[in-house]
A and B are shown apart, each in its own frame.
Chain A
Amino acid sequence: MAATRACGAAANTSENIMSLKKALSVASPLTLRIVAECPVTKARACDLILPHSAVSTPVFMPVGTQGTLKGITVDQLDALGCQICLGNTYHLGMRPGPDLIEKANGLHGFMNWKRNLLTDSGGFQMVSLVELSEITEEGVKFKSPYDGKEILLTPEKSISIQNSLGSDIMMQLDDVVSSTVTGPRVEEAMHRSIRWLDRCISANKNPEKQNLFAIIQGGLNTELRKACLDEMTQRDVPGFAIGGLSGGEEKDDFWRMVTLSTDHLPREKPRYLMGVGYAVDLVVCVALGCDMFDCVFPTRTARFGSALVPWGSLQIKNKQYAKDFEPIDSDCQCPTCKRHSRAYLHALFKSDSAAMHHVTIHNIAYQLNLMCSVRQSIVEGCFPEFIRTFMKRMFPSRDQYPGWAVDALASVNITLE
């Protein structure tokens, strides 16, 4: 993975290593060094220095929900150039539970991942997964899908679990409301998230080793978002996430909330846009000022045989690939593309689960490479050009460019001809 490795290497020139060492010797478990800023858009390229290693941003973080990236070993993940990935507090808190993981030397020890980990608080599962019993000021009552028992997830409990997991970045427990919900519930959730942030900060037993990020809420309402931003940025947290988006809302509303958020987030702290993973969304949101992204999409879609490519995606299981003897992407340097053809993978999907792993590896490589190229172009001062080339490759013609993307890019001075 030459390209991605080079990205990581760029963060480690001798000059950088000196300041890295300096940074690590200071008590803060997070240091953000802005390496380059795009003069046209709001994009930045940074070195995010975390306890386990430096991370080059913009960065896409693959999701390994249950302490594993589905079907991929930690060595394979490392070889792809991944510097940080996700684990999920809700799932791991259920099985195998925080006590066992603590015994195993945290999630790093349990899954044997030597680089960085970010854990979500379990809040999103409130919207996505579980039959909700009740949300109160105290916390969220879930009904466990495994034994039907009721569990109360409070800010304190979420942080306690994340402390046991030992992740480098922890997320606050937020009162998550679906982005399609309107009305007073949105405001209630926003205010509560602020109160829960404070409780999370108090509950953090390892502030010198684990970074607690706040999550900006407020739905699709400008006033509420702004209010949340104003309040949360007063807290001394090492980073901010933009939450409550990427859940089925109109893209026109989505990008406006993203750019509003980055306008009011401090420059010198990382901005993490949660749940975003489609290539177009990533490129646009980098232009809008975001540094970190996560999404299950690339890895999940791989298991269904969907391979991501610069011009969209290939449904490998479709008949049309049965006799296609080209690799998924002839320009891709990933292990899958170097050895296997679309036709072989198409056939393998009928015989063995390894077919899924091949495509998973390719998709992770695609995402990481995309981010690497984005970063490189920001560093070299040609990000606007990169965006234009990217869009041209992705869409057959100008009139197929998504309207929201055109608008969003225009808002940061990028005109697509």
Chain B
Amino acid sequence: MAGCRMKLELSRVALGKGRLGVLKGLGKTGQLSLEVPGCLLHTHLGTVPHLTQDTLSTLSTLPSVTQITLSNIAEHQEVLEEFKDGFRKFAGLHDTVLYCALHDPATPCPTGHTTNKTVSVWGSGGRIELTVAKFMALQKAVKPDWYQSMADGETWQINTSHKRVRKSVDRSLAHLDECLLVHQKSQELEGVEVFGVVEGGDILEERVRSAKETAKRPVSGFCLDGLQTGSMDQALRTQLISAVTKELPEDKPRLLQGVGRPDEVLASVEAGVDLFEGFFPFQVTERGCALIFNFNISSNPELAVLEPGEDQETAGDSQHNGDLNPDDQTQMTSFEINLKDKRYQGDFRPLVEGCGCYCCRNHQRAYLHHLLVTNELLAGVLLMIHNTAHYHAFFSALRDALAEDTLDLLKRRVLGQTERKD
């Protein structure tokens, strides 16, 4: 039996309006918890991109769950096996829950290499093919607190036939069963939680079938795969998620893979998602941008007067509106400003007024602009700090809105900014 100390305690559930609660019983001692809706801490090999412990610790509230991916780790299997003490210790991570995913959500990988028995990940040295046996050997070497089972999610990058989608569902179920079999026999994995992965591409019946079948297995929660940003519009995504979550037990968490944009997060939460991979701040950082969208709906009358654009930036308008392609994951969104833009050259304000992050307390837009123009490494460090702080504060605001039943107000605040076309 896979570890089952993980417990989702919901305090509010409203159909079509999202769930609020706490995921408890996490980690080795079962003492850690994660508020939902929430996002995980996205890392490369256990390191938040660009950050060392000093810079990371400037962030006051970080999620208790760190995400690592086999795409970074697979090539180090031998090293971890020789190390013997698991990835947490190898990476110098201390009091955090370790969740092991398969693919890095920020780096889409080439398609066409999945077979009935294998999936592939791409490390620094090229493609590594994983059978369930190798996948499980990796989990034993990594020793995470929780991992997703091996799955075939190659339905979203390209146009996939019905037959292909069906195969992805069948394969993923077969992989799950095999994983669980190995898991149950492994002493090294005792107490470790397993998430089943719901596939089904954009086909409703397949989604429902996958959900129903996966729910029958003894898993601690569910990953929703194949719904990544860029695969479909949010309306379809919402429809599919709603159909899927109807088939899933209410008391187990749902993690949506590959979705991170604030608008998509809001809609997905309403459709019943609890957890997200926190990779969006990294993507924003990589394009030299800073998150500035407003999520403040406090009842302070002074703050309420601040309409977007007044004291605050009009996000996204340093770029032609016609260029905004919501399906391109690398393209700037309307939630950010492009600090490379000349307009920030002499802008001595912080990235976001009132943001308490290290970057905003110590530096100005003009400095960030300079660092980006001169290709300095510090740009990535400072932007990563700010974007991570901003994004996690957004999730905090989201939880508050669910608690106070002000989600509609939050949506207007966050999404209202995408409509400005000055």
Contacts and interface: CB of A to CB of B under 8 A. Distances in A.
B124 A350 contact: yes
B1 interface: no
B363 interface: yes
A104 B79 contact: no
A356 B49 CA distance: 12
B419 to A, nearest CB: 34
A381 interface: no
Contacts of B371: 66, 68
A73 B52 CA distance: 11
A343 interface: yes
A153 B401 CA distance: 59
Nearest to A336: B52
Contacts of B378: 68-73
Contact of B44 (A71, A343, A352): A352
Interface in A81-121: 91, 95-96, 100, 103-104, 110-112
Given A70-B377, A343-B79, A356-B377, A76 B55 contact: yes
B381 interface: yes
A348 interface: yes
A323 B82 contact: yes
Q: Is the interface on chain A under 10, 10 to 19, 20 to 34, or 35 or more residues?
A: 35 or more
A353 B384 CA distance: 12
A335 interface: yes
Contact of B79 (A67, A323, A356, A357): A323
Given A95-B373, A322-B79, A354 B345 contact: no
Interface SS, B side: helix
B91 interface: yes
Contacts of A347: 45, 76, 79
Contacts of B91: 344
Given A347-B79, A350-B124, A111 B47 contact: no
A71 B381 contact: yes
A67 to B, nearest CB: 7
Given A75-B54, A350-B124, A357 B45 contact: no
Given A112-B363, A352-B50, A100 B79 contact: no
Contacts of A79: 54
Interface in A177-209: none
Which of A79, A112, A347, A358 has the most chain B CB atoms inside 10 A of its CB?
A: A347
Nearest to B346: A100
A167 B421 CA distance: 44
Nearest to A100: B346
A320 to B, nearest CB: 12
Nearest to B69: A351
Given A104-B366, A354-B51, A354-B52, A95 B374 contact: yes
B362 A335 contact: no
B108 interface: no
B92 interface: yes
B192 to A, nearest CB: 22
B124 A110 contact: no
A66 B123 CA distance: 33
B299 interface: no
B366 A357 contact: no
A353 B83 contact: no
A104 B123 contact: no
A110 to B, nearest CB: 6
A353 B377 CA distance: 8
Interface string B256-286: 0000000000000000000000000000000
A356 B346 CA distance: 30
A96 B90 contact: no
A76 B381 CA distance: 12
A118 to B, nearest CB: 19
Contacts of B291: none
A175 B358 CA distance: 42
A339 interface: yes
Interface of A: 66-76, 79, 91, 95-96, 100, 103-104, 110-112, 322-323, 325, 335-336, 339-341, 343-344, 347-348, 350-358, 361
29 contacts: A66-B371, A67-B367, A68-B371, A69-B378, A70-B377, A71-B50, A71-B380, A71-B381, A75-B58, A76-B54, A91-B374, A95-B370, A96-B345, A100-B346, A103-B346, A110-B366, A322-B79, A323-B79, A336-B52, A341-B92, A344-B92, A347-B45, A347-B76, A350-B123, A351-B124, A352-B44, A354-B44, A356-B377, A358-B52
Q: Rank and list the top 6 A-B pairs by shortest CB-CB distance, nearest first.
A: A71-B377, A350-B124, A352-B44, A339-B92, A351-B44, A351-B45
